[in-house]
Amino acid sequence: MTKPQFYSFFFDKYKRIIPYLLLYIVIALSQSCTVPKNTTYFNKLVRDTIIQTNLIELPEVAIKKNDLLGISVSSLNKELDEKFNQTAMIKSGFQFGDGFLVNENGSINIHFLGFVQVEGLTRNQLREKLEKELTPFLKEPIVSVQFLNKKVTVMGEVKAPQVVFLTEEYTPLIDVLVKCGDLGKDAFVNDIIIIRDSINFKQVKHVNLEDHALLSSSWYYVKPNDVIYVKSDLSKTYKEERMRSAQILVSLGVSVFSLIIIILNSLIK
């Protein structure tokens, strides 16, 4: 039997299974390209339900020395409002911005009022105090007080790791993650680490974003100087690496098989 006869015999014998083999390779290739489904938040949450929360009422944060406060005033006298709101540019440890720095004596220097003692007061208490003391100078003043130097640090598998500044006493963890562009595709949703400063020690908490019990936890809210670390899910990374390797091998196999078919066809002719 000559070589052309042998190839013709081989092709005629196995030509029926060739389409099935090609179909199998195509299916395997499509499966290897399948993207794993991302884990979702609170996937244990029952649809259309009510969650009973037993959170203790969270106390307002007291103003401390070296805090940077954003204070703005609105009244019926716009000219005086503008003079009051024109604060000097202050460089803090975290950002440049307009604000009033609480000095070592626990006071801030306010237009019209001079030095005002603010240490130990909450934002609402300071707001009420300033509205009362500014009444002789401004007509029906409305004061807004915010923190400008409260921040948390977000690291790890998020789309935009960064330092997030907090203007309120209590900000939900979800809000902070959204400000960072949400979790990355390889984030370990079941194990978000929060490191929190206490007076003489650091607390480390592992938070599960799939479990809606977080909604009833005091750790649902971040605190100033928290460090939030989002771990990478190594199992997802490993699976994706295996899928990429399988895709390369299957693609190579298809190419080799196609080359063999082309060679056999040319030899038969």
Eight-state DSSP code of residue 236: H
What is d(CA 208, CA 9) in angstroms, rounded to the nearest whole number? Answer: 63
Helix (H, G, I), strand (E, B) or coil at 131: helix
Q: Is 226 exposed, middle or buried (0-12, 13-18, 19+ CB in 10 A)?
A: buried
Select from 97, 116, 147 the last residue of a domain. Answer: 147
Q: Residue 63 falls within a domain, yes or no?
A: no
Confidence (pLDDT) at 89:
40
Residue 60 forms part of a structural domain = no
169 and 209, same domain (yes or no): yes
Show Cβ contacts of residue 178 under 8 Å, excluding neighbours closer than 6 positions.
none
Q: How far apart are CA 226 and CA 153, in angstroms?
A: 6
Which phi and psi (to 5°) does residue 89 adopt? Answer: -75, 120
138 and 100, same domain (yes or no): yes
Q: Both 227 and 241 in a single domain?
A: no
In a domain, 44, yes or no: no
Whether residues 74 and 107 share a domain: the answer is yes
Q: What's residue 96's pLDDT?
A: 41
Per-residue confidence (pLDDT) for residue 10, from 0 to 100? 53
- Residue where a domain terminates, one of 147, 175, 191: 147
pLDDT given for residue 207 in this prediction = 92
Beta-bridged to residue 267, according to DSSP, are none
Q: Give SS3 for 36.
A: coil
The pLDDT assigned to 118 comes to: 95
Residues 141 and 155 in one domain: no
For residue 93, the model assigns a pLDDT of 40
Full residue range of the structural domain in which residue 174 is found: 150-232
What is the CATH number for 121? 3.30.1950.10
- Tally of domains in the chain: 3
User: Using an 8 Å Cβ cutoff, are 107 and 116 in contact?
Assistant: yes
Q: What is the dihedral of CA 108, 109, 114, 120, to 10 degrees?
A: -10
pLDDT means per 10 residues in the chain (269 residues)?
A: 53 57 58 52 68 64 89 85 61 52 91 90 94 90 89 94 87 93 88 88 91 86 92 72 73 70 59
Please list the residues that pair with 110 across neighbouring strands: 114
**Does residue 259 lie in a domain region?**
yes
Domain identity same for 82 and 155 = no
